[in-house]
Amino acid sequence: MDQLLWTIFFSPFISFVILFFIFKPFFGKMVRLSSFISIFAIGLSTLLSILILLDLSINQKVITFKPNEFLSVGNLNFGISLILDELTVVMLVVVTSISLLVQIFSIGYMSGDKGYIRYFAFLSLFTTAMLGLVLASNIIQLFIFWELVGLSSYLLIGFWHHKPSAVAAAKKAFIITRIGDFGLLLAILYLFVQKSEFASNSLNPIMIQDIIIAAKEGYLSDFVITIFALGIFTGAIGKSAQFPLHTWLPDAMEGPTPVSALIHAATMVAAGVFLVARFFPVFEASLIAMNTLIVVGGITALFAASIALAMNDIKKVLAYSTISQLGYMMLALGVGGLSAAIFHLFTHAFFKALLFLGAGSISHSTGTFDMNKMGGLRKIMPWTYITFIIGSLSLLGIFPLSGFWSKDEILSASWSSSGIIANIGFYLAFITVFITSFYMFRAIFLTFHGEFQGDISKGDLHESPKVMIIPLCILSVASIFIGFIVNPIISIAFIPSHWFSDFIGHTSGKAHVNIFTNWFVYGATLISFLAILLAYLIYISKNSLFIKVFDKFRFARQILINKYYFDYIYEEVIVKKIFLNGIAKGLNWFDTNIVDRVFGFIGWLSLNIGILLRQMQNGQLQTYGGILSLGIILIMIFFIFF
Amino acid sequence: MVFNGLISTTVFLPLVGSLIIAVLLKKNSHIFFFARLVTLLNLILSGWVLFAYKMSESSEKFKLIDRYENWIPFEFFKVEYYLGVDGFSAPLILLTGLLTAVAVFSSKNITYKVKQYFVCLLLLETAVMGVFSSLDLFLFFIFWELELIPMFFLIMVWGSGRKNYSAMKFLIFTLISGALILFGILILFATTKSFDMTMIPLLLQNKTLLIPMSFVFFIFFIAFAIKLPVWPLHTWLPDAHTDAPTAGSVMLAGVLIKMAGYGLIRICIGFFPESVSEYSLFIVILAVINVIYGAVITMRQTDMKRLIAFSSISHMGFVLLGIAAFSGSYEDKITGLVGASLQMFTHGTITGLLFLIIGYIYEKTHTRYIPHMGGLVHQMPRLSISLTIAGVAALGLPGTSGFISEIIIFIGAFPVFNFFTAIGVFGVVLTSGYILWMIQRIMYGPQLERFKNISDASIYEMIPVVILIISILFVGLYPSFITEIFKNGIISMIGK
């Protein structure tokens, strides 16, 4: 089993090494072959991941492997080792399968690009890092791959490095997530302050399982657990683009669209959710940490969805939608719904990747992401249209698509959870359903319905090639069925009922609530349809009454278009005004004009004292005689008067 | 008299080489060839020193000892010729060999006073290696002062900009540092009647000094603080770096300032462990100021070299942070000091690489002013990849050596000083800010008209770059190779 897992990890890594160090410098012409190598490698990983999932679902047990010594210095005793549990295996399947489909799609999307080999090399690097992250058994190893994921994201966002906006977005993504990583790193370091508590129970402070044991058994004080959990969550806020560190994700859309689908929708941004899930028992041990999850998740869900209402760039709509859905997952974790959160992560990966690839397919034809320059595409791109609708309905949570099952798990988890904060969380999530439905159908109506508004001739529009359509179709099938298949409410064939929830949440034996007895299942569907109707009235039938009312909210739209001025405050006010032109400029002035001048002054002083003293040695006997007499007189005065 | 010979050969081979260049060689091409040959040989020798140290079976603290007791045989002023290495100094000797070779191989466009140029570089190598391997305090001081002269001429003769001013500033600051060291050495000698660095810690244990122990500690601390440099004594470094030639900057950032870190650990911690513990709060505050102050000022720099120079100040703060962990438990001490020594090694390779790449870029574009640059990735894909790798190593990305040394320092220092270390850790965020911003402004963006005809680094020029990259990745991926050596040295120094 150990070797199988290492194969999953090393297969994309070897592909990266071959592409980047052999193909790129020496065989720059063999572009097709390079993408096949990459796809073969990731295909192998996918196959093995699914096999391991099947194996683990039959004999449920957590496996850790003997660590291989990596670094041992004083406090730090750190070996590389893997962990295989339910969470890991689910993430393995998500990461490898979405990577595989995205890479196949990329053959068409990136064809003819100058950096084709580099692109596939970086995708392989990303998959490697992501696999290393989910397989890590100790927190330092996890941090290493966490940072490498950030690096590959940086490289892929800035892939078209001739575009200044892309490079700026890449830098922004890296730095903002690094602010989150700062919190994560402090949490890791904080473990070493508690090393005696760990040592007295013969635990290693960096092993994830030991940390969980320490939290469960109460070896650590509540205060310590809360601090640690909040530090971990800070890292998750950065990576999962939660409020208030969300601003990098919309900008990250500057990268190639398949990258957005893979990294900034399905996998990397879900790493924050994964991280919290990994340390879930630690969070459970602290009420403050759990409530922070609810508050941040709930606010993010609503807040990001509201911005999505006003975006005109279809990828930005999807980006804010992703932030909002990640907020849902955090909220689910906060109310104790571990399996609900991971279930939503699982289904979301498929339908959001589908939507992003759909947007990529659209821009492949129209050459733009601006929805005001689209319209009427449903006749020209029927496959893209249908699959996009499927993805949207799944995102909205319409029965019986995948999103329905996972979103309802979240709603019922927060509904059944007690406490005022959990209740607020539920209503935030519920309202978000309405907004989500509205912005998705606004996007569909602007893109696919009405008349074409773009500036290229209509004849140039075309449906994308098969190599792009097939992944869309596979993802559509997944977006329809996978939610029901993995977590059915009744046993079907060999899949037991509520398999996924039992698998992840270890809830087997406990009674599952029949979700169809909850009012909000119907309520959510109802408001979804109301929102779709509203979008229809405004954007398709252009009902004058609704448009008039809609126009009344212009001031609100202004705020939304400016994303609540967060970018302005962060970049213009905090970074430029306060930091660069305030603190840094001041310190720089201080350094050149005060610190350096002081030494200059000391130099000047000693020089002048020297000049002064030199006067006394000018070689003239008269001066010497004068000074000599002066000295004698002074000594005499001294003796006479004292 | 004990004589192994390996370490003496390593230290004095460059000196002999420089004499041969000065006296025997006339043609420039011969000088180039010979200088490369000597540094290459010495690189192999310094690698051999590390290897021989690792293989040596002897249980002594110091190995490969070359010792001649009666070098200056006066009873009242007995100076020995005493060289040797331990786990702490052996990697630094390898670092010196590596960076000198890089410096010599990269200076292929020198046309002015070629002979003197290589004589200076080789002399510098002997001086620095002598500092790292001397076990006699007086010999240590001689090598410490010897380093000053060639570096002064490197800046003054082959530098650019305000080179006279910068060279003089470098000279004065280093002289003051040297004078303080001499003062400290003489006080120690007056008390212990010995220059033997292996004996002084023992002799000092039960002695009362002429003046308080902590005062002597501060004399040495200030001397090394000037050289490291520590705020507010750092102002010579940006000027010296900016105006030095590329090879000079590589040597200065790569090895010369490591002499100060070496002195701090070997002398301040080795001789005055109690004082270091006692004043560790003072040290950690200086460390944090260095890290943050350096990083913040780096943000405002518009000259490539000055930018990296200020980032060096920030990164040297981490060395100080690791040293400050000395007031913690035994485990914290080991962790902090191994981290600090590894940080010296990794900073040498990473910053050496950054200066090397920037030197290449400057040679081709004839500008170091960042706002005038941009889009160079189109003409210089090789240098662009190299700069990105060096940059991410500088900002401590896992997989590179920078990450390993920083995380070890943090793990050592955090349990001792939670609050200050946390501030220091934030330096990592600032570092990623200025590094990525620099790479963005130099390399990326649309192609500029005025750089249309410049070329990428040649294969020959890439050799030193690739060697440094390999060393950075090697330490990043297989750190225990070097941390085990450092750990041996540190443990034997501070005892079990």
Name every chain B residue with its beta carbon within 8 A of the beta carbon of A178: 428-429, 432
Q: If you average pLDDT over residues B218-232, what whole number do you get? A: 92
**A74–B412: do the CB atoms touch at under 8 Å?**
yes
In this prediction, residue B284 carries a pLDDT of 94
A252 in Cβ contact with A157 (< 8 Å):
yes
- HSE-CB for A138 with a 13 A CA cutoff: 21
A22 at the B interface (CB within 8 A)?
no
What is the full DSSP assignment across B296-350?
Answer: HHHHT--BHHHHHHHHHHHHHHHHHHHHHGGGS-HHHHHHHHHHHHHHHHHHHHH
Q: Is residue B425 part of a domain?
A: yes
In this prediction, residue B74 carries a pLDDT of 82
Residues in chain B: 496
Name every chain B residue with its beta carbon within 8 A of the beta carbon of A148: 397-399
Q: Output the six-digit token pair for A58.
A: 């039959």
Kindly report which listed range (A193-202, B167-176, B240-249) carries the lowest average pLDDT score: A193-202
In this prediction, residue A459 carries a pLDDT of 66
Q: What is the mean pLDDT of chain B?
A: 90
Q: Amino acid letter at A25? A: P
Q: If you average pLDDT over residues A120-132, what whole number do you get? A: 92
A2 at the B interface (CB within 8 A)?
no
Distance from CA of A101 to the nearest CA of B (A): 28
Give the pLDDT band (50/70/90) at residue A506.
low
Q: Is residue B266 part of a domain?
A: no
List the single residue in A with minimal CA-CA distance to B231: A595
A472 in Cβ contact with A361 (< 8 Å):
yes
pLDDT single digits (tens) A52-72: 888 887 776 667 777 777 888
Kindly report which listed range (A482-486, A608-612, B161-165) carries the lowest average pLDDT score: A482-486
Distance from CA of B423 to the nearest CA of A (A): 10
A164 at the B interface (CB within 8 A)?
yes
In this prediction, residue A208 carries a pLDDT of 87
Among the partner residues A75, A148, A599, nearest to B411 by beta-carbon distance: A75
CA distance to A180, A214, A278, per residue, from A207 (Å):
21, 11, 12
Three-class secondary structure of residue B105 per DSSP: helix
A264 in Cβ contact with A319 (< 8 Å):
yes
Q: Is residue B486 part of a domain?
A: yes
Q: If you average pLDDT over residues A398-412, what whole number do you get? A: 86
Q: Output the six-digit token pair for B285.
A: 């505050």
List the single residue in B with minimal CA-CA distance to A195: B415
Name every chain A residue with its beta carbon within 8 A of the beta carbon of B380: none
**A179–B397: do the CB atoms touch at under 8 Å?**
no
**B425–A591: do the CB atoms touch at under 8 Å?**
no
Q: If you average pLDDT over residues A316-333, what whole number do you get? A: 91
In this prediction, residue B55 carries a pLDDT of 86
Give the pLDDT band (50/70/90) at residue B423.
very high
Distance of CA A278 to the CA centre of its chain: 16
Say if residue B470's pLDDT is above 70: yes
B187 in Cβ contact with B209 (< 8 Å):
yes
* Maximum Cα interatomic distance, chain A, rounded to a whole number of Å: 121
Q: Output the six-digit token pair for A75.
A: 């406090």
Distance of CA B435 to the CA centre of its chain: 21
Say if residue A455's pLDDT is above 60: yes
| pTM score, whole prediction | 0.91
Q: What is the domain extent for residue B289? A: 279-496
In this prediction, residue B431 carries a pLDDT of 92
Q: What angle do CA A314, A320, A323 make, to 5 degrees?
A: 145
In this prediction, residue B354 carries a pLDDT of 94
Name every chain A residue with its beta carbon within 8 A of the beta carbon of B445: 161-162, 164, 167
Q: How many domains does chain B have?
A: 1
| Assembly ipTM | 0.91
Name every chain A residue with its beta carbon within 8 A of the beta carbon of B335: 73-76
In this prediction, residue B210 carries a pLDDT of 67
Q: Highest-confidence range of A131-135, A410-414, A421-425, by mean pLDDT?
A: A131-135
A178 in Cβ contact with B429 (< 8 Å):
yes
**B480–A70: do the CB atoms touch at under 8 Å?**
yes
pLDDT single digits (tens) B30-55: 889 999 999 999 999 999 999 998 88
Say if residue A142's pLDDT is above 70: yes
Probe site for chain B from A73, A125, A162, A189 (most B CB atoms < 10 A): A73
**A186–B422: do the CB atoms touch at under 8 Å?**
yes
A583 at the B interface (CB within 8 A)?
yes
Q: Output the six-digit token pair for A335.
A: 């109310």
List the single residue in B with minimal CA-CA distance to A172: B433
Distance of CA A108 to the CA centre of its chain: 26
A26 at the B interface (CB within 8 A)?
no
List the single residue in B with minimal CA-CA distance to A180: B429
Q: If you average pLDDT over residues B396-423, what whole number do you get? A: 92
How many Cβ pairs within 8 Å bridge chains A and B? 135
Helix, strand, coil distribution of chain A in percent, nearest 5? 75, 5, 20
Q: Amino acid letter at A590? A: F
Interface of A with B in 172-191 (CB under 8 A): 174-175, 178-179, 182, 185-186, 189-190
List the single residue in A with minimal CA-CA distance to B496: A74
What residues contact B216, with CB distance under 8 A and at least 6 apart? B184, B187, B188, B209, B272
Interface of A with B in 507-526 (CB under 8 A): none
pLDDT single digits (tens) A260-316: 888 888 888 889 999 999 999 999 888 899 999 999 999 999 989 999 888 888 899
Computed from CA positions of residues A188, A191, A192, A198, in that sequence, does the dihedral angle turn out positive or negative? Answer: negative
CA distance to A16, A19, A26, B383, per residue, from A23 (Å):
10, 5, 5, 19
A570 at the B interface (CB within 8 A)?
no
Instruction: Tell which residue, B268, B328, B320, has the closest CA to residue B289.
Output: B320
Name every chain A residue with its beta carbon within 8 A of the beta carbon of B417: none
In this prediction, residue A193 carries a pLDDT of 87
Say if residue A145's pLDDT is above 90: yes
Spatial separation of the C-alpha atoms in residues A371 and A442, rounded to whole Å: 10
What residues contact A60, with CB distance under 8 A and at least 6 apart? A86, A503
Name every chain A residue with its beta carbon within 8 A of the beta carbon of B432: 174-175, 178
Looking at residue A618, the DSSP 8-state letter turns out to be S
Say if residue B118's pLDDT is above 80: yes
In this prediction, residue A452 carries a pLDDT of 81
Task: With both helix axes pointing from N to C terminus, report the angle between B163-192 and B236-243 in degrees, rounded to the nearest 10.
Answer: 130
A403 in Cβ contact with A347 (< 8 Å):
yes
- HSE-CB for B123 with a 13 A CA cutoff: 22
Among the partner residues B338, B378, B433, nearest to A74 by beta-carbon distance: B338
Name every chain A residue with its beta carbon within 8 A of the beta carbon of B397: 147-148, 151
**Which contacts qualify for B296-300: CB closer than 8 Å, 24 or more apart?**
B296/A583, B296/A584, B296/A587, B296/B430, B297/A584, B297/A587, B297/A588, B297/A591, B298/B430, B298/B434, B299/A579, B299/A580, B299/A584, B299/B430, B299/B433, B299/B434, B299/B437, B300/A580, B300/A584, B300/A585, B300/A587, B300/A588
CA distance to A339, B348, B443, B470, per residue, from B467 (Å):
49, 13, 22, 5
pLDDT single digits (tens) A217-242: 888 888 989 999 999 999 999 999 99
Q: Is residue B33 part of a domain?
A: no
Say if residue B282's pLDDT is above 90: yes
Kindly report which listed range (A272-281, A431-440, B58-67) carries the lowest average pLDDT score: B58-67
Q: Which strand (E) or helix (H) includes residue B73?
A: strand B63-74
Residue B78 phi, psi (nearest 5): -95, 110
In this prediction, residue B409 carries a pLDDT of 94
In this prediction, residue B209 carries a pLDDT of 64
Distance from CA of A113 to the nearest CA of B (A): 15
**A584–B397: do the CB atoms touch at under 8 Å?**
no
Q: Mapped to the 3 state alphabet, what secondary structure does A263-329 carry?
A: HHHHCHHHHHHHHHHHCHHHHHCCHHHHHHHHHHHHHHHHHHHHHHCCCCEHHHHHHHHHHHHHHHH
B394 in Cβ contact with B402 (< 8 Å):
yes
In this prediction, residue B54 carries a pLDDT of 87
Say if residue A483's pLDDT is above 90: no
Q: Is residue B396 part of a domain?
A: yes
Q: What is the mean pLDDT of chain A?
A: 86
Q: What angle do CA A399, A405, A409 make, to 5 degrees?
A: 135
In this prediction, residue A512 carries a pLDDT of 66
Distance from CA of B202 to the nearest CA of A (A): 25
A238 in Cβ contact with A147 (< 8 Å):
no
A167 at the B interface (CB within 8 A)?
yes
Among the partner residues B235, B414, B433, nearest to A189 by beta-carbon distance: B414
Name every chain A residue with its beta carbon within 8 A of the beta carbon of B416: none
Q: Is residue B87 part of a domain?
A: no
**A74–B440: do the CB atoms touch at under 8 Å?**
no
Q: Is residue B23 part of a domain?
A: no
Probe site for chain B from A10, A21, A69, A75 (most B CB atoms < 10 A): A75
Q: If you average pLDDT over residues A407-411, what whole number do you get? A: 87
pLDDT single digits (tens) A36-57: 999 999 999 999 999 888 888 7
Q: Is residue B161 part of a domain?
A: no
Give the pLDDT band (50/70/90) at residue A533.
confident
Q: If you average pLDDT over residues A516-544, what whole number do you get? A: 84
Residue B3 phi, psi (nearest 5): -140, 115
